[in-house]
Chain A
Amino acid sequence: MPNFIVDFFKYDFLIRALLVGLTVSLSASLLGVSLVLKRYSMIGDGLSHVGFGSLAIATALGASPMIVTLPVVILAAFLLLRISESGKIRGDAAIAMISTGSMAAGVLFISVTSGVNTDIYNYMFGSILSMSESDVVLSLILSAIVLTLYSLFYHKIFAVTFDENFARATGVNAGAYNSLLAVLSAVTIVLGMRIMGALLISSLIIFPALTAMRLMKSFRSVTLTAAIISGLCFLIGLFSSYALALPTGATIVCVNILAFILFSAISFLKSNLTGKSVKQQP
């Protein structure tokens, strides 16, 4: 085993980041499949910006960042979901307004109270140093809840993702499952943004799903593949950022981009070699 990996495990903060990051990556990738297919990717992005604003304000006020941010982002998730569901033409613009507004409020608040400092930088781009022991425990418990709920209701989440009208017409409470998806995404984003940063966390939701869809044909295989890709990319990204002294969040996103390119290339070759085109999700 390379030395740097052995060294890695000497540091508690790295082990904490590993545990939290891995569970958050898994949750994000599972939820991501539904969010991308339901064209709700914007919600993920919006939530991370709301999360930034709320983290910044909580820190400036000296409150516990996680305890303040979780409920705020969950509320925002309901709001953004309603905006998306209402199907109004300017839904995406409304979401962009809310997300940039929260960013701006957060930056202003922090610069007035404590001055622009490393906190802002860390919230935007993530830091593996940021997790305290209690954060880790909370994160692991919440991730376990996300993963459990997702697996229990997997079939209904599939039905609501594939054809919401049919699901509703035959008596599935689609609204409840959309809300469940929104809440689970909110929790996952809050947990993940400490490591990944507010600007980068939504990539954990979007990339693995899109990558898996390049090659996989069934919902189950897309879901499982996305989870594996997400976990692997996180591990590779974390170790290489540590070995090469690169920013963790950005490294993980780049590894995800490489995976996406790799899968696209394989899909391209496959369709050209067999002559059969593999239709792809936009």
Chain B
Amino acid sequence: MKSSLIRCEDLSFGYDARRVVGDLNFSINQGDYLAIVGENGSGKTTLLKGLLNLIKPLSGQVIMGQGLEYKNIGYLPQQSQVQRGFPASVKEVVLSGCLNRTAFIPRYSKQDRRRAKNQMERMGILKLSQSSYRDLSGGQQQRVLLARALCAADRMMIMDEPASGLDPLVSHELYALIRELNKEDNMTIIIVSHDIHCVLRDASHVLHLKGEQLFYGSREDYIDSEYSHYLLAGHTECVVAEN
């Protein structure tokens, strides 16, 4: 059997032995675009943390293959997890995304600085590079964290509700950018999103959670399944209730 980029077998995660999400069996291949959907509290963030080895599985394991390493992955955490009021300039935050490429004793090379600048330009925050992260609006902060994740990613982007705090136009552009990363750069995408276009147009695969794996399969199968009604019916509500 051909090895996958990430394979999950009978995986479950939780906190202090309390199971939050379980019965996970799926695999992700190079170039996949996996959308993870589910109500609030269904364990989406917990699963992403588990995939990134930030929390240990209660059972089962995450098997990484094809030479994938953590330093190949860019991660956009759910915004509430980053400290508010932290004194750091936008440039410092974005550059820190390049750390996974530096040597044991870290120094930023010219390439790193250029990469950080390009990603800031891409996210439209180059003018803010000397501003303090704590003085920015929620949407601007989100773009800073996205630029940081883009600096870190060379094979995979893992994003937890990337469009939260962005206005519709910017979030539209963001999904276009993610699509481009996936199609042109063959970047593997794992994204938690309630955006109906993202899930039903861009994704190659869908994982629907509710404390366990309700559905995993291709987008086409998902659209045909009963589970996609959740997304269609609750569409407006979900976009508002993102957290």
Q: State the interface size on chain B (CB cutoff 8 A).
A: 40
Residues of B within 8 A of A220 (CB): 89, 92
Interface string of B75-93 (1 = CB under 8 A from A): 1010001110111110111
Interface string of A244-282 (1 = CB under 8 A from B): 000000000000000000000000000000000011111
Cβ-defined partner of A280 (8 Å) among B53, B85, B105: B85
In the complex the two chains form, is B135's CB within 8 Å of A217's CB? yes
Determine whether A93 belongs to the interface, using a CB cutoff of 8 Å to chain B.
no
Determine whether B27 belongs to the interface, using a CB cutoff of 8 Å to chain A.
no
Determine whether B100 belongs to the interface, using a CB cutoff of 8 Å to chain A.
yes
Interface string of A147-177 (1 = CB under 8 A from B): 0000011111011001101111111100000
In the complex the two chains form, is A170's CB within 8 Å of B74's CB? yes
In the complex the two chains form, is B87's CB within 8 Å of A167's CB? no
Report the nearest B residue to A278, measured CB to CB: B135
In the complex the two chains form, is A156's CB within 8 Å of B99's CB? yes
Residues of A within 8 A of B96 (CB): 155, 158-159, 162-163, 166-167
In the complex the two chains form, is B88's CB within 8 Å of A282's CB? no
In the complex the two chains form, is B86's CB within 8 Å of A217's CB? no
In the complex the two chains form, is A172's CB within 8 Å of B100's CB? yes
In the complex the two chains form, is A217's CB within 8 Å of B89's CB? yes
Interface string of A212-230 (1 = CB under 8 A from B): 0100111111100000000
In the complex the two chains form, is A163's CB within 8 Å of B54's CB? no
In the complex the two chains form, is A168's CB within 8 Å of B85's CB? no
Report the nearest A residue to B153, measured CB to CB: A170
Determine whether B199 belongs to the interface, using a CB cutoff of 8 Å to chain A.
no
In the complex the two chains form, is A171's CB within 8 Å of B71's CB? yes
In the complex the two chains form, is B77's CB within 8 Å of A166's CB? yes
Q: Which of B73, B87, B108 has the most CB of A within 10 A?
A: B87
Report the nearest B residue to A213, measured CB to CB: B87
Taking the closest CB of chain A, its distance from the CB of B143, in whole angstroms, is 15
In the complex the two chains form, is B132's CB within 8 Å of A169's CB? no
Cβ-defined partner of A279 (8 Å) among B102, B105, B135: B135
Compute how far the CA of A279 lies from the CA of B132 in the bound complex, rounded to whole angstroms: 10
Cβ-defined partner of B92 (8 Å) among A166, A170, A219, A280: A219
Residues of B within 8 A of A172 (CB): 99-100
In the complex the two chains form, is B89's CB within 8 Å of A218's CB? yes
Residues of A within 8 A of B158 (CB): 169
Determine whether A97 belongs to the interface, using a CB cutoff of 8 Å to chain B.
no
Q: Which applies to chain A's interface (DSSP): helix, strand, loop or mixed?
A: helix
Cβ-defined partner of A165 (8 Å) among B54, B73, B93: B54
Compute how far the CA of A153 lies from the CA of B102 in the bound complex, rounded to whole angstroms: 11
Q: Which of B81, B99, B102, B152 has the most CB of A within 10 A?
A: B99
Compute how far the CA of A31 lies from the CA of B49 in the bound complex, rounded to whole angstroms: 28
In the complex the two chains form, is A156's CB within 8 Å of B106's CB? yes
Residues of B within 8 A of A156 (CB): 99, 106
In the complex the two chains form, is B82's CB within 8 Å of A163's CB? yes
Determine whether A144 belongs to the interface, using a CB cutoff of 8 Å to chain B.
no
Cβ-defined partner of B85 (8 Å) among A152, A219, A222, A279: A279
Taking the closest CB of chain B, its distance from the CB of A264, in whole angstroms, is 15
Interface string of B95-111 (1 = CB under 8 A from A): 11101101001111000
In the complex the two chains form, is A170's CB within 8 Å of B54's CB? no
Residues of A within 8 A of B102 (CB): 155
Determine whether B69 belongs to the interface, using a CB cutoff of 8 Å to chain A.
yes
Report the nearest A residue to B89, measured CB to CB: A218
Determine whether A61 belongs to the interface, using a CB cutoff of 8 Å to chain B.
no
Determine whether A141 belongs to the interface, using a CB cutoff of 8 Å to chain B.
no
Residues of A within 8 A of B100 (CB): 170-172
Residues of B within 8 A of A279 (CB): 85, 134-135
Taking the closest CB of chain A, its distance from the CB of B22, in whole angstroms, is 22
| Closest 8 pairs (CB-CB, A-B) | A217-B132, A171-B71, A218-B89, A171-B70, A169-B52, A155-B106, A169-B75, A170-B100
Q: What are 24 sample pairs from A and B whose C-beta atoms fall under 8 A apart?
A: A37-B83, A37-B87, A152-B105, A153-B105, A155-B102, A156-B99, A159-B99, A162-B82, A162-B86, A162-B88, A163-B77, A163-B81, A165-B49, A166-B75, A167-B96, A168-B53, A169-B54, A170-B70, A171-B69, A171-B73, A217-B135, A218-B91, A218-B130, A222-B87
The residues of A with any CB-CB pair to B shorter than 8 Å are 37, 152-156, 158-159, 162-163, 165-172, 213, 216-222, 278-282
